[in-house]
Amino acid sequence: MLPAEVQRIILLIGLAITAYLMMLAWNEDYGQSAVAENYNVAPQSENYKQQASNPIIGSYQPEQADNSIIPVEILNDLPDESMIAPNKEYSQNGADKTSVGRLDSIQVSDRLIHVSTDVLDVWIDRLGGDIVRTQLPQYPVTLENPELAYILLDNDDNFTYVAQSGLFGRDGIDRTSSQRPLYISDSDEYELVNKENLVVELVTERSGVIVTKSFKFSPDSYVIDIRYTIENSSGSPFRASLFAQIKRDSSEPKSGASSFVLGPKPYLGPALTTSESRYEKLPFDDIEEEEFQEDIRGGWIAMLEHYFLSAWIADPNENNRYYGKKRGELYIVGYSGPLMEIADGDTGEFKARFYSGPKIQSRLSQISENLNLTVDYGFLWWIAVPLFKLLLWLEGFAGNWGIAIILLTFLVKLLLYPLSAAGFRSMGKLRKVAPKMKKIQEKYKDDRQKLSQEMMGFYKKEGVNPMGGCLPMLLPMPIFLALYWVLFESVELRQAPFLLWIHDLAIMDPYFVLPLLMGASMWFMQSLNPPPADPMQAKMMKIMPVMFTAMFLFFPSGLVLYWLVNNVLGIGQQWYINRQIDNAG
């Protein structure tokens, strides 16, 4: 009969598994319907949401056919002139201006413009030209509902996450949150076809200045190039600065939080690169305590969540002022560029880039320096980064992430073979002299001090190290922890299938098969070695397979697969070394 302690542990494990299965069943019955309903609702225009709780001075009506600045009384969250980046060199562009008459030929469309590409679905609000929703059709929310694309940015009554940009300053057309330009466009639906670039133009005019805000979409790209073209016929110089910002509340991602049941909570919040740090988090709590501001040349600022991010990327050749602040219940992070002056009769441009998509390191590193560091592998990054690159290469060779993890385990085991063999050889020697050890333990069982002295002398005489058997278990641990972070952070492994019932290596085994096999392999490995001399340690060693099994039940199946294969290889190595020792006499 099992000891009472072991029975209690098994009972607790059983209760935990039952509770978890009940939670899964509840989520399957009630959770998915709520998500599906959200996908059937169009995003709200930014000021529609604000108007719900604020008095309206002069609200926009859909039939309104002018392109005026619309006053709405709301909390201002746009930068003012004090936020213009410190740059005394004004840039100019002397290109020919386009005729104002072309505005008359553009039809006014609905407030929301929908743009679809092969990797992005984007909704743009014509009031201010803000991006109020992005969806990622290549990344379904769940494998069970592949038609539901992951929502990154969105705007509704319960969730705010939008990307804003505009021109502010003396002649800026985005003066405050209550005074944004209403652009006009020639369509409310755009689609990228034939793998050709798509440019969506929004146009407005004020006091002889024509402003064209264009969004350039490229095939197989999550980057949106945004450009303001200013055609100045006002009779005086046009002076303004560009701002680009992300506005978000602190709620969980729209398409659901992390799929991890056990483990660290994914970071949710802003991050940026600075002159002193390649990658610096800017948590919501820090912004609430003190507003952030720093002048940086080039750079980027991002809003991170598990596997995905959005980011504004500034011109690398310009000095920019980055900021973080809280307005009401919303957190706002972004940057403002230097002042630009455009002479009367000239044309000038303001440019920015916006990324909204997955944390694919190879792409992020090409977009901007250090942007790939948003894939945060923690303090073991120096192991995790080469580990991920090796996994990526193995997956390209094997065509399956699970097989790549198995091949990685073989390579790690081969690399550590000389060190682990020494540990296994020590355990093999202990196993051979176990009968002599048992006699000493029985002889001095009533005198612990004498037993300890005799055992130390025995170890020295036989040339064995009782702690040497810990080495094979400790050596793979840094790889194990680094692989945990690779599985936790790498979007390439999100929803990556293995074989049979394992459809996603980044989440737990739904039937607990791998954890149970891992626990069995751990118990069998222990049976190849002699029990510790101390009875309490011997009991703990017997409980360890049960404890590890309970813990691994909720670990990502890819991680459990690594540890299972490592145990199986360890069993084979221990058996081979034991035979060598036995044959040696």
* Mean per-residue pLDDT, 65-80: 56
Does position 343 have pLDDT exceeding 60, yes or no? yes
Please report which confidence band the pLDDT of residue 68 belongs to, taking 50, 70 and 90 as the band edges.
Answer: very low
What is the 8-class DSSP label of residue 378?
G
Polymer length in residues for the chain: 585
Pair of tokens at residue 532: 């510790």
Does position 446 have pLDDT exceeding 80, yes or no? no
Measured CA to CA, the distance from residue 177 to residue 154 in angstroms comes to 18
Please report which confidence band the pLDDT of residue 555 belongs to, taking 50, 70 and 90 as the band edges.
Answer: confident
User: Which positions ≥6 away from 14 have C-beta within 8 Å?
Assistant: none
- Percentage, residues of the chain above pLDDT 70: 73
**In 378-397, which positions are buried (b, 16+ CB within 10 angstroms) versus exposed (e)?**
eebbebbbebbebbbebbee
Does position 140 have pLDDT exceeding 50, yes or no? yes
Alpha helical stretches, state H, 399-470:
401-415, 417-432, 434-443, 448-462
Does position 467 have pLDDT exceeding 90, yes or no? no
pTM of the model: 0.79
Strand partners, 65: none
Average pLDDT, the chain: 80
Domain spans, the chain: 41-73+81-376, 383-583
- pLDDT for 339 equals 94
- pLDDT for 366 equals 95
Please report which confidence band the pLDDT of residue 64 belongs to, taking 50, 70 and 90 as the band edges.
Answer: very low
Pair of tokens at residue 305: 């969540």
- pLDDT for 440 equals 74
Q: 41-73+81-376, what's its fold?
A: Beta-galactosidase; Chain A, domain 5 (2.70.98)
Radius of gyration of the chain (CA): 31
pLDDT digit string (tens) for 152-190? Answer: 999 988 899 999 999 999 999 998 877 899 999 999 999
Q: Any idea which residue has 């080039």 for tokens?
A: 298
